[in-house]
Amino acid sequence: MAAGQCLALLGPNGAGKTTLLRILATLLRPTAGALRINDVDALREPERVRPLLSMVAHGAHVYEDLTARENLRFWETLRGGDVSPARLAGALSQVELDGVADQRVRTFSAGMKRRLALARVLLGQARVLLLDEPFTGLDRRGRKWVNEFLLAFKARGGAAVVATHSFGDGLGMADRVGILGQGRLLVDRPTADLSAEELHRLYESLTDSVEEAP
């Protein structure tokens, strides 16, 4: 993948999207294959590429008993970054959480937690973003928000991989789309090549045949 690109990973539950994302995040080791990030062999030297990566999974990496601001301070300090109040406030306002910055995360909705995770991404200045089903549990406004975030991230030159099992979300942002079935990448095409219906039909046929296979 190139900088400024977004790859959408489609697939039914259990297809292996989360596993693939975790491998990309250097959290899991693949049994075969190679992974290069920024021209560094990520499998041999995961520590070198980790500063560039940021992952937002279901969990959003938030401590429920801390406030939003404290969460950011914690994670950014661990990354070795600058946690001046101005920077933290800046990130919080960019994700529109400045109003609730000093409330405990326990009171947040799923969407707000997701936004906090994205604030963490902003602070960390990651170059590669891995999102595991970022749209689940969000209302329309929330989903629109994530899409805009992705656009801005791409515009700054970051690369993103978004796993999702719902069709509408994320595809607008994607430059490429891949379909995972039973742990294999069945399709990998630029979105410009496919219309929405074509993609839909392709997806249906692939997942049906995958489900029928013994």
Partner 1 sequence: MSYARRAWIILWKDLLVERRSKEQLNALLFFCLLLLFLFQFALGPDRERLAAALPGLLWLGFILAGLLGLARSFLAERENDCWEGLRLTPGDKSAIYLGKLAGNCVLMTAVEIILVVLFGVFYNVDLWTPAAPLALVLALGTVGLAAVGTLFAAMTTHVRARELLFPVLLLPVQVPVLLATVSATQALLLGQPLADVAHWLKLLAGADLVYVTIGLLTFEFVLEG
Q: Nearest-CA neighbor of 181 among 202, 161, 156, 160?
A: 202
Least distance to partner 1 from the beta carbon of 21, Å? 11
**Residue 155 near partner 1 by CB under 8 A:** no
The 10 Å Cβ neighbour count of residue 109 is 12
Contact assessment for residue 7 and residue 161, using Cβ atoms and an 8 Å cutoff? yes
Does 104 sit near partner 1 (CB under 8 A)? Answer: yes
What's the closest the beta carbon of residue 15 comes to partner 1, in angstroms? 20
Q: Which residue number, 55 or 180, has a Cβ lying nearer to partner 1? A: 55
> How many residues bind to partner 1 according to rule CB under 8 A?
29
**What Å distances lie between residue 47 and 22, 25, 81, 137, 177, CA to CA?**
15, 11, 16, 32, 28
CA 81 → CA 42, 49, 55, distances in Å?
A: 22, 16, 17
Q: Pairing relation of β-strands 36-37 and 40-41? A: antiparallel
Task: Kindly state whether residue 187 participates in binding partner 1, applying the rule CB under 8 A.
Answer: no
Give the nearer residue to partner 1 in terms of CB position, either 18 or 147. 18
Site for partner 1 in 51-70 (CB under 8 A): 51, 53-55, 57-66, 70
Q: Could you tell me the smallest distance in angstroms from the CB atom of residue 169 to partner 1? A: 21
84 touches partner 1 by CB under 8 A? no
Residues of the shown chain interacting with partner 1 in the complex, contacts defined by CB under 8 A? 25-27, 47, 50-51, 53-55, 57-66, 70, 73-75, 77-80, 104, 113
